[in-house]
Amino acid sequence: MQLHQLAYFVAVADTRHFTHAAELLRIAQPSVSQQVRALERDVGAELFHRIRGNLSLTEAGETLLPIARRILADTETAYRSVRELDELHRGRVRLGATPSLCTGLLPTMLAGFRTAYPGIDLTLRESGSRDLQNDVSEGLLDLAMIVDSRLRDHGRLATQPLFVEELVVISAKNRPAPVRRARMKILDLEGRPLVMFRGGYDLRDATVDACRAEGFEPSFAIEGGEMDAVLECVDAGMGIAVVPSTVAKDRFRVTRFEAPGLSRVVRLTYREEIKPSKAVLALHNTITNHLANAALLPRGTRPLVKRPEPA
């Protein structure tokens, strides 16, 4: 049983005439007759009563007709779904990002993507860079935005540098500034109570490594928090924290480091050997195009992607 045979059968059943069905299908009448006969042989029963040029459905024909209509309708739905997927009307993208990126830059990017491609389902996973690398490597994520602190070497993964993000010190506005100078040194963190992220957090690694490079261990007022908890603790005056400039909101006092300061490179990672779907490519392009427009980026962020060439 073939789809075109079912289509010919339905056309004949609707018109009750082989010639009219052939005209409707825009094919030769003998082809319609031959294919209907072939269908009857396949199902093992006659589908039409052929009496003096008049056609009517047999009991077998009456039984097959609604089934044939459903099969043809389902087939058209399948073709349409694939076409819509190819044309970015539907699809799925699984994106991973670090908590600081989810709090800072990412919402604006994803809002633009959602506006451009409302039919694409977008899943966001928030975690540390090393966990996100593993998820991409294992096929659990399509793309991930990660930072370069203590990253593992995954041979199957490709990475694209996106931007350099400055790290700054935030403190409560109702408390004295960490230093009287406009900028502070890494050494100025010695002995000061830090609100510290949980273990495995990229910002924790960056802060601790910077302090140890200056010869001291940082002091913690409290540790183990996620991004929102750290921000709330700083706002409550429990201590200071080192965070990306993109999450240093207006409610905080922001103090920048003296040159060369602290910064981190944010990268986009993906499986190199997997051909991405058009939905994944659309999100990739949305992210890079957004970052290439430096006017859209907060202070302290320097894009590493090139501005797209005009069409």
- The answer to whether domain 93-162+267-298 and domain 165-263 are alike in fold is yes
Give me the residues paired with residue 124 across strands. 95
Structure tokens at 188: 């100025």
pLDDT, tens only, 25-57: 899 999 999 999 999 999 999 999 988 778 899
Q: What's the pLDDT band for 300 if we cut at 50, 70, 90?
A: low
Q: What class is the 93-162+267-298 domain?
A: alpha beta
- pLDDT for residue 222 is more than 90: yes
Q: Give the pLDDT confidence score for residue 35 in this predicted structure.
A: 92
CB 93 within 8 A of CB 143: yes
Asked if 282 contacts 142 with a C-beta cutoff of 8 angstroms, the reply is no
List pLDDT tens digits, range 117-149.
998 999 999 988 888 988 898 888 999 999 875
Residue 150 pLDDT greater than 70, yes or no: no
Residues 268-297: pLDDT tens digits? 999 888 888 888 999 999 988 888 776 556
Name which CATH class applies to 3-86. mainly alpha
Out of 77-91, 121-135, 175-189, pick the least confident.
77-91
**Could you tell me the pTM of the whole model?**
0.69
Residue pointed to by tokens 């009517």: 56
Q: What is the pLDDT of residue 104?
A: 76
Q: Give me 121's structure tokens.
A: 């389902």
Decide if 147 contacts 98 (C-beta within 8 A): yes
Q: So what's the pLDDT on residue 149?
A: 56
CATH superfamily of 165-263: Periplasmic binding protein-like II (3.40.190.10)
Average pLDDT, the chain: 87
Spell out the domain ranges in the chain.
3-86, 93-162+267-298, 165-263
User: What's the confidence (pLDDT) of residue 311?
Assistant: 40
Beta pairing class for 54-57 and 48-51: antiparallel
113: tokens are 């993507």
DSSP 56-77: EE-HHHHHHHHHHHHHHHHHHH
**Half-sphere exposure at residue 298, Cβ-oriented, CA atoms within 13 angstroms:** 18
Banded pLDDT at 65 (limits 50, 70, 90)? very high
* Strand (E) or helix (H) holding 225: strand 219-225
